[in-house]
Structure 1
Amino acid sequence: MSLVRKFMTVGGATLGSRFFGFARETLMAAALGTGPMADAFYAAFRFPNLFRRLFAEGAFNAAFVPLFAREIEAGGKDAARRFSEEVFGVLFTVLLIITIAMELAMPLIVRTIIAPGFDVGTEKYEVTVKLAVVMFPYLMCMSLTAMLSGMLNSLHHFFAAAVAPIFLNLAMIVALFYGLYTGADPLATAWYLSWGVLVAGLLQMAVLYAGVRHAGMSIGFKRPRMTPNVKRLLILAFPAAITGGITQINQLIGQMIASTKDGAIAALQFADRIYQLPLGVVGIAVGVVLLPELSRALRGGQIKEAANIQNRSLEFVLFLTLPAAAAIWVLSDEIIRVVYEHGAFNQSMTSTVAGILAIYGLGLPGFVMIKALNPGFFAREDTKTPMRFTFVAVAVNCALALSLFPFFAERGIATAEVVSGWISTTLLFATLIRRGHMDIDKAFVSRVIRLLAAAAIMAGVLEYASVHAAPHISPSSGLLEEIAAVLALIGIAMVVYFGVAFAIGGASLGMIRRNMKRGAAAPSAPVAGDE
């Protein structure tokens, strides 16, 4: 299967999950709006989500996959299974200890880390503590799921791991439907959602375990021991955990600052959900597929092929995210109005969330490029360099968020996150080039300039078209009319962008076709256009 087809497999599954996520967020907006219970739920949910990104997805995608691939290369599936069981025993034990400690310390954690702006003793604070206690075991489920995902990805079984997150959205949608159907108040709905999160974690873990067994691997529990392999994993995992969770770290910092303003946490979350669609479909797909592919090429001594895979992935990212960023910038109001402005979510909330989304759109290419650049370090078992860059980016985010929030509120936090993301992207990109792991030639630069021009032309056309579509996207319009108008605008944007990109040489349909047919191990030109 070609590299692009693998991207499409993971991206397609992720797209399905994101659409269910949209349905979930739309129902949540209708049920909770941006009121105190929405703030409480999102604050409580962000904490296990942060740990999931830090100690599960980030650490295992960066540290576990290259080591697992090395075991397969050296000793076959039996050696890889033994390594997995060693890791599983240690991981399960550590997670159990962390979960118990966090549950006992949750009141302190909420008032110092999760939401220091919530007044102790208020209903919002008390509810946040209780919801966080219910949801924190989700971390344990998802960390074990991340290990199983890493095994499947290394065995080139990408679909099951990519489709598993759908269960979280389905469980939360069921909880929301039940709350809306029974006329539950926001507090009861928040409780339903919290238990839905825990159930979803168990379901995802069960699905991934079945997938691993179907792939010909079975792992059991072994007494935790600090073997050389486990020690090597921990050495790689700690900096990788920090690096992989940069977005979540920045968002947690933003949440801490935003907790001083009612509704700010929920507004940031609603905007985050929209831009997570292209970030997830493109960025996560590239990151998930690229790491095992690079690890395999480097283990086989195929240095040029590894550089080729890295370059093609970066061009693929830019080819798809530049138009997405431009469309989000122009259509932020229209998108938020159609997706969220129902029930408890009013026009004033639309204006706030749309402003945040437009800023996030400017950072989208940078955030997605991070997903494509990090594997260039991780596949070489270098997790410390990206970690250093993460510290720089987080420091910038903290300084900017604190400086801008008093003047621009939620928009200031979004701006800080975007600037932080672009700084991290620039440092990663420059270092890979300096070390000779990427070869950026004049043809690549020329294609990127042409793609930027195509995205700019598309944005201009979209701005003009949105003025004429405005009467069909207003409070007086029906939902179906609004959806049809937004879909028409998106259709126009796609036709203009791809038409211009192909016409001016930023992309080549023939080259994309050839790359989809060609195996990843075969040398090939970039997907975004001819040399």
Structure 2
Amino acid sequence: FFFANKIPNFLRRLFAEGAFSQAFVPVLTENHAQGDMDKTRELIARAAGTLGVIVSIVTVLGVLGSGVVTALFGFGWFLDWMHGGPAAEKFELASLMLKITFPYLWFITFVALSGAILNTLGKFAVSSFTPVFLNVMIILAAWFISPQMSQPEIGLAIGVFLGGLVQFLFQIPFLIKAGVMVKPKWGWRDPGVVKIRTLMIPALFGVSVSQINLLFDTFIA
């Protein structure tokens, strides 16, 4: 469970709550300060659409290639699996759990995006309270789902998935109320998105170095 939860959280800190947020918030704040909500909504739509496509591709690849990811970061388990060793079952279980937890990346990316939008509009309480749902769903899954599973760890992975889903759904009414629930649009060449991309480059490098080091230190330990 620790392994299956670590990978999507690593990508979350790298993209959603890391480099992307550091680049998106200043651009959104600058745009919103101009007082034109139509332009603000257009920026949100373009940013959400572009980010959504990228994260959807990463998520699908992560789910389909969970075995490859598990082999890369759990190489000892992979070797045991190849040779029928005692940890072979751990490799298969970790790969299965990663399939379940990887979509959490998609949900939490949009949770982070929504939180940044609501914070910019002065709605701080919503994004502050939202993370509670992840812990609640994991606890509920441990109580009610894990005991029903032949491999209880899978219940915790389901809890992570449900936690991401509930966080995502929880913020939607507040986005609607604030008038910023927009239809995502592809906007790779949109001026606002280009500015976000430009700001992301140094932020991505800085965040990625620390997160990659932390990830490898964790698995080596």
TM-score by length of 1: 0.38
In structure 2, the partner of 1:250 is 213
- Give percent identity, aligned residues only: 30
In structure 1, the partner of 2:71 is 111
Post-superposition CA distance 1:258-291 (Å, at most 9, x none) = 2xxxxxxxxxxxxxxxxxxxxxxxxxxxxxxxxx
Separation in structure 1 between the aligned mates of residue 30 and residue 42 of structure 2, nearest angstrom: 13
Post-superposition CA distance 1:284-333 (Å, at most 9, x none) = xxxxxxxxxxxxxxxxxxxxxxxxxxxxxxxxxxxxxxxxxxxxxxxxxx
Post-superposition CA distance 1:190-242 (Å, at most 9, x none) = 11111111111111111122222223322112244421211111121243234
Tell me, yes or no, if structure 1 residue 86 matches structure 2 residue 46: yes
Separation in structure 1 between the aligned mates of residue 201 and residue 153 of structure 2, nearest angstrom: 33
Separation in structure 2 between the aligned mates of residue 61 and residue 222 of structure 1, nearest angstrom: 19
Distance 1:241 1:213, change over 3 A: farther
Preserved contact between residue 45 and residue 135 of structure 1 (Cα < 8 Å): yes
Q: Which amino acid aligns with 2:114?
A: L
Preserved contact between residue 188 and residue 194 of structure 2 (Cα < 8 Å): no
Q: 1:18-417, aligned counterparts within 5 Å?
A: 41-112=1-72, 114-120=73-79, 121=81, 122-178=88-144, 182=147, 188-244=151-207, 248-258=211-221
Distance 1:96 1:236, change over 3 A: same
What SS does the corresponding residue of 2:76 show, helix, strand or coil?
Answer: coil
What is the Cα deviation at residue 74 of structure 1?
Answer: 2.1
Post-superposition CA distance 1:403-456 (Å, at most 9, x none) = xxxxxxxxxxxxxxxxxxxxxxxxxxxxxxxxxxxxxxxxxxxxxxxxxxxxxx
Separation in structure 2 between the aligned mates of residue 241 and residue 162 of structure 1, nearest angstrom: 24
Distance 1:131 1:238, change over 3 A: farther
In structure 2, the partner of 1:304 is none
Separation in structure 2 between the aligned mates of residue 157 and residue 177 of structure 1, nearest angstrom: 33
**Bigger-Rg structure (1/2):** 1
Separation in structure 1 between the aligned mates of residue 188 and residue 52 of structure 2, nearest angstrom: 12
Structure 1 residue ranges, 4+ long, deviating more than 6 angstroms after superposition: none
What SS does the corresponding residue of 2:179 show, helix, strand or coil?
Answer: coil
TM-score by length of 2: 0.88
Separation in structure 1 between the aligned mates of residue 208 and residue 161 of structure 2, nearest angstrom: 21
Size of the alignment, in residue pairs?
214
Preserved contact between residue 45 and residue 185 of structure 2 (Cα < 8 Å): yes
What is the Cα deviation at residue 247 of structure 1?
Answer: 5.5
Runs of 5+ consecutive residues of structure 1 not aligned to the other structure: 1-40, 259-531
Separation in structure 2 between the aligned mates of residue 86 and residue 63 of structure 1, nearest angstrom: 14
Post-superposition CA distance 1:124-161 (Å, at most 9, x none) = 11111111111101101111111111101111211101
Distance 1:223 1:51, change over 3 A: same
Q: Point out which structure has higher relative CO (alpha carbons under 8 A, 6+ apart).
A: 2
What SS does the corresponding residue of 1:188 show, helix, strand or coil?
Answer: coil
In structure 1, the partner of 2:85 is none
Q: Which amino acid aligns with 1:145?
A: V
Preserved contact between residue 61 and residue 150 of structure 1 (Cα < 8 Å): yes
What SS does the corresponding residue of 2:152 show, helix, strand or coil?
Answer: helix
Preserved contact between residue 115 and residue 255 of structure 1 (Cα < 8 Å): no
